[in-house]
Amino acid sequence: MTESKQTIPVDGHASDDAEQALADEQSRPDGHGESTPGASAPGGEGGHTGDDAAELQGDLDELGQLAAKRDEYLALAQRTQADFENYRKRVARESALAQERGVAKLAKELLPAIDNLERAIVEIAVATGETGETGQDPLLGGVRLVLSELTGALARVGIESFSPGGETFDPTQHEAIATVPQPPEGGAQSGTVVEVYQPGYRLGESIIRPARVVVAA
């Protein structure tokens, strides 16, 4: 029987070669060696993707909050503008009503003077025999001039007189001081104004003073 012989390395070169071979074996790409440099690992490039998504979501949330605040401020501005427009219209309406009330009050103070001037014109015309509009009497002419100036001033602020002779009696605009029976033939229809005792005055649709009239019975 032949005795086996074991070679004993004289120096360390053989051992170094064995360690190198073992390192090469472990580095082969067969799944038994160490991980390659490009493999993903926690905390590597894969971790950056999650951070970017979170940052993007944060930006989107911030944009959403800014859009909500923008809509809130826009709605507030629109409400403020609407309130101001309503306030402006209300002030303009109240100012117009106040002005109208002031004009009507002044007119009521002047109407008795106008009535007296009209009666004076009638009396002077009867006394002088001048019934036309172009009389030569200076007093009559002066009274007519004053009356014309007063009625013109009232007309310039929107006040006009009305004489409803021949119209149907309207209690909202006329004041009946008497009724007159009418003959069966040729008489006025019942409820018709047959005589105007005193003209009325109005400002737009508002009646400052109703016309005083005589109505057919």
Domain membership flag for residue 12: no
Mark 95-105 as b/e (b = at least 16 C-beta within 10 Å). Answer: eeeeeeeebbe
Tell me the pLDDT band of 132, cut-offs 50, 70 and 90.
low
* 133: pLDDT strictly greater than 80: no
* 20: pLDDT strictly greater than 80: no
Look up the pTM and report it: 0.58
CATH at residue 177:
2.30.22.10
Domain membership flag for residue 181: yes
Give pLDDT tens digits for 44-83.
455 567 788 888 888 888 888 888 899 999 999 999 999 9
Domain membership flag for residue 78: no
Q: Any bridge partners for residue 161, and if so which?
A: 201
Dist CA 180 CA 217 (whole Å): 5
Look at residue 12 in the predicted model and tell me its pLDDT.
Answer: 46
Domain membership flag for residue 148: no
Cβ-Cβ contacts under 8 Å for 136 (sequence gap 6 or more): 130
Domain count, the chain: 1
Q: Which of 22 and 93 is assigned the larger pLDDT?
A: 93
* 11: pLDDT strictly greater than 90: no
| pLDDT (mean) for 98-109 | 91
* 131: pLDDT strictly greater than 70: no
Is residue 17 within a helix (H) or strand (E), and if so which, with residue range? helix 13-26
In the numeric block, which tokens belong to residue 213? 């009239």
Range of the domain at 165: 158-217
| pLDDT (mean) for 119-139 | 81
Domain membership flag for residue 112: no
Helices 138-156, 45-128: crossing angle, 10 deg rounding: 170
Look at residue 36 in the predicted model and tell me its pLDDT.
Answer: 46
Look at residue 4 in the predicted model and tell me its pLDDT.
Answer: 44
Domain membership flag for residue 97: no
The CB density around residue 156, as the number of other CB atoms within 10 Å, is 8
Domain membership flag for residue 41: no
Look at residue 205 in the predicted model and tell me its pLDDT.
Answer: 87
Look at residue 55 in the predicted model and tell me its pLDDT.
Answer: 82
For residues 201 and 157, is the Cβ–Cβ distance under 8 A?
no
Average pLDDT value for the chain: 81
Domain membership flag for residue 92: no
Dist CA 157 CA 154 (whole Å): 5
